[in-house]
Amino acid sequence: MKQQLNSKNLIFQQIVEGLSGGVLMFNKALKLDYINPAGEMLFEISANRMQGLPLEEVFPNNDGLVTAMRDAFETGRPFTEREVVLYLQVMRTTAADCSVTPLFDLPSGKALLVELNPTERVMRISREENQFSQVNAIRALIRGLAHEVKNPLGGLRGAAQLLERELPDESLKEYTNIIIGESDRLRNLVDRMLGPNSVPQRVPLNIHEVLEHVRQLMEADVSDSIVLKKDYDPSIPDISADRDLLIQAILNIVRNAIQAVGESGVITLRTRALRQFTIGHIRHKLVCRVDIIDNGPGIPEDKIESIFYPMVSHRPEGTGLGLSIAQTMIQQHDGIIMCESQPGHTVFSVMLPVDADNQKTDQ
């Protein structure tokens, strides 16, 4: 009988830990006893660090909600509140539907069950799907245009080379050299717009080794007034990725951050593990999130939706290719790059599935 009970408890625990919504349990002193992996992901903090926190610290700056929870705990009346604003640890807020249920007759006495279902999750998935479809449509258009452009460029270059051989005056070759040089430049530009076309050569990879490589490259290339910080989660396991492609993608984003801060600023490379995270239509048990954070002026709100499109840049000197190529490389790894920006705080988040072949499940 005891073994059967333990088996049922294990099943219930697996069910709760597999939910996409956050589940929190507060004890009779209204201190946190349990939070599931989805809750950790929502609050962006580990269960170990949240364990034992009182209600007011779990839901800061939310006096109305905390008071309602205490009333529910005392009266035994459950309630649901929609679109509750949650204040996170990293200068961010998120919205969730909140259901509160008092529990009685437990071995430990009374308890309070809180369920949080992020409303932003549905909106984020919708934005990702829209971004996938738009970027793929633009790339298909570019591939078609590239074919039409590269063929005549090849003919133009060949004709210039033949003309160069027939010129009687050496000084006239300056003009054919210009034609050849511009043809090569346009061909290279088209190739860059197309992005990488090779299949990623995936191997087990430590994401922090890649980030340290990029950080050291950039530290040697920037002035002392630009500070490159790191904030790594050492618990993240190896991912399956192409090292060269991943380095190039991260490098493009970090260079973009360096250009954004100008002559002085702070750029932080941060990693976190996300559980039960959805990318596109696929929910992954574990995802590695790499944040590249800068304190530059931010990206204009009307430009942020198009920053991953080829040839789109909000800087006059920008080519509009770096972020587009980075997005392509990350999508080749079944991941995605997302961006949130406000003046003084811009975050590019690279989401990479951990062991994607074994851990993904259809939504």
> Is residue 153 pLDDT above 80, yes or no?
no
> Is residue 190 pLDDT above 80, yes or no?
no
Is residue 208 located within the same domain as residue 351?
yes
Is residue 211 located within the same domain as residue 329?
yes
**Confidence label for 359 from pLDDT (cuts 50, 70 and 90):** very low
CATH code of residue 60? 3.30.450.20
Q: How many CB atoms lie within 10 A of CB 104?
A: 8
What's the confidence (pLDDT) of residue 91?
Answer: 62
Is the pTM above the cut of 0.85? no
Q: C-alpha distances in angstroms, 61 versus 34, 66, 88, 197, 267? A: 21, 9, 10, 49, 28
pLDDT digits (tens, 9 = 90+) for 4-51: 545 666 777 788 887 878 999 999 999 999 999 888 888 878 888 889
Is residue 22 located within the same domain as residue 58?
yes
From CA 301, how far away is CA 323, in angstroms rounded?
A: 17
What's the confidence (pLDDT) of residue 315?
Answer: 59
The DSSP symbol for 237 reads P
Identify the residue with better confidence: 306 or 233.
233
Q: Please provide the DSSP assignment of 81-93 as one string.
A: EEEEEEE-SSS-E
Which of 194, 212, 241 is the endpoint of a domain?
A: 194
Partners of 43 in the β-ladder: none
> Is residue 111 pLDDT above 60, yes or no?
yes
Find the domain containing 183 and state its range.
Answer: 123-194
Is residue 86 located within the same domain as residue 132?
no
What's the confidence (pLDDT) of residue 212?
Answer: 95
Is residue 29 located within the same domain as residue 83?
yes
Work out how many domains the chain is built from and give that number. Answer: 3
Is residue 271 located within the same domain as residue 286?
yes
pLDDT digits (tens, 9 = 90+) for 227-239: 999 999 999 999 9
Mean pLDDT of the residues in the chain: 82
Is residue 113 located within the same domain as residue 142?
no
Is residue 230 located within the same domain as residue 335?
yes
Structure tokens at 265: 């600023």
Is residue 108 located within the same domain as residue 90?
yes
Is residue 49 located within the same domain as residue 35?
yes
What's the confidence (pLDDT) of residue 360?
Answer: 47
User: If we measure between CA atoms, which residue out of 137, 363, 347, 145 comes closest to residue 256?
Assistant: 347
The DSSP symbol for 27 reads -
Q: Using an 8 Å Cβ cutoff, are 352 and 273 in contact?
A: no
